Amino acid sequence: MATLLAVGIQALVLVIITTISLLMPSLTRRDLLFGTTVPPNTRATAAGRAIIRRYRTGVLLLAILQAIGLVLLRALAPARFWASIGIVVIPLVLVLLPDIPYLLAWRASRALASSAPPAAPPVPSAGLHPRRYADYVPLVWEALPLALIALTASYLAMTYAAAPAIIPTHFDAAGNPNAYAHKTVGSYFLLVWTQLFLYVLITFLSALTVRAKAQPTVADETFRRRMMRYLFGVKSLMIALMGVLALSVAQSALSGHANVNWVLWVTLGCVVLILGGAIWIGITTGQGGSRLGINGQNTTDRMDDRYWKLGGIYANPSDPAIFVERRFGLGWTINVGNPRALLVLIILLALPFAFTALTFVVVGR
């Protein structure tokens, strides 16, 4: 059962990654082809279509190979492999493999761009209004995730006294507890701390990306607003999921058994909603609002191709921007050439690690 579940989750990850990879060339700005600036509508030319077709064929072939690999692993790998930390390698492979057809397509796009006549450099422009998180997500909306956290904390506070001195902290696939901790405010309210951590982390990230390099266009502004609201939705959904998990853990502490089936379905539902939302924004809005159909506003991001390493890594020490729009993908990436951006990246990477380490200390595992 556990093996089947693990394989099922990996297969779901494979389907999602393949779908997103296949869609991606159509979601980016029209004058960017695999991270390379090209004349507008290059995608519609025979050469542009051929590059995209080869990329999609590569992604599909790799997906088929990965699916065969998963089936073979399911048949040949020992059961203990699926319970080990080794299975984290699988999603990593699933995520990284589509980079191979991307890099080939990027090289072909560069060759195509070099044969095109050089375009006039775009005029640097900026809107004269400050961008703040509250302008994109009404502050009153924040009452929802905060209320969810308060509800979770209230429920746990009400059941705290009745819970046994030793509480379960981890469960197997059948719902039986397989790890325990002494009941303390730290361990019993662990999921509330997780909710608070998620709230702070995602709000911080949203507030930073609001200030990412922008263009003074309606398309760009619409994209930014939708993305900020999407991030708010992700934050609320994850906090709600933590609340459901807290409810389940508290019930198992009181009854000695947790019915994890519905928790699993709720978790999968959240994952589907989050990824479905991202795909929906991609299709309806496109990167930088490029699919909104606003004439004359699907211009490139003005950044020189020289600063884009492999078409996807932005490194420009003379640019004060911390976040910039991704060239192949949805959302923003970091300017690795800016020391402040590197500091932000280190903080963003260190925070989850620090929090995980802290939970191990609190739970005592």
Partner 1 sequence: MRPASARSISCRSMRLPPALFCVTITSRAMTNRSMGGRSLGLTLPKLFYQCYNSPREESEPGAGIMATEQREPAVIRLDEASPTPKYQQIVEQVRALVASGVLSPRTRLPSVRQLAADLGINVNTVLAAYRALESEGIILLRHGARAVVHPRLERVTEPPVGDIERIRAALERTRTDALLLGMTLEQLRALAAEVFGR
Residue numbers of the site for partner 1 (CB under 8 A)? 121, 123-131, 134-138, 211-218, 221-222, 224-225, 228, 302-303, 318-322
Closer CB to partner 1, residue 227 or residue 249?
A: 227
**HEC-encoded secondary structure of 195-211:** HHHHHHHHHHHHHHHHC
Least distance between partner 1 and beta carbon 213 (Å):
5
Q: Quick check: 267 and 241 in contact, CB under 8 A?
A: yes
Give the count of beta carbons closer than 10 Å to the beta carbon of residue 222: 16
Q: DSSP labels for 325-339?
A: E-SSSSSEEEBTTSH
* Residue 313 backbone dihedrals phi, psi, to 5 degrees: -115, 120
Tokens 């990593």 -> residue = 92
State the minimum distance, in angstroms, from the CB of residue 173 to partner 1: 44
Please, what is the minimum distance in Å from the beta carbon of residue 153 to partner 1? 29
Whole-number minimum distance, CB 225 to partner 1, in Å? 5
Q: Let me know: does 7 contact 265? Beta carbons within 8 Å.
A: no
- In the complex with partner 1, which residue's Cβ is closer, 91 or 122? 122
Least distance CB 261 / partner 1 (angstroms): 40
Residue among 136 and 188 whose Cβ is closer to partner 1: 136
Comparison of 135 and 305: residue with beta carbon closer to partner 1: 135
Residue with Cβ nearer partner 1 (131 or 257): 131
Report the nearest approach of partner 1 to the CB of residue 136 (Å). Answer: 4
Of 131, 334, 136, nearest to 227 by C-alpha is 136
Pick 43 or 327: Cβ nearer partner 1: 327
Of 50 and 143, CB closest to partner 1: 143
DSSP SS3 for 179: strand
End-to-end CA distance of the chain: 26
User: Which residues sit opposite 166 in a β-bridge?
Assistant: 182
Q: Are 323 and 301 in contact (CB under 8 A)?
A: no
What is the smallest separation between the CB atom of 111 and partner 1, expressed in angstroms?
Answer: 27
State the CB neighbour count (10 A cutoff) for residue 164: 11
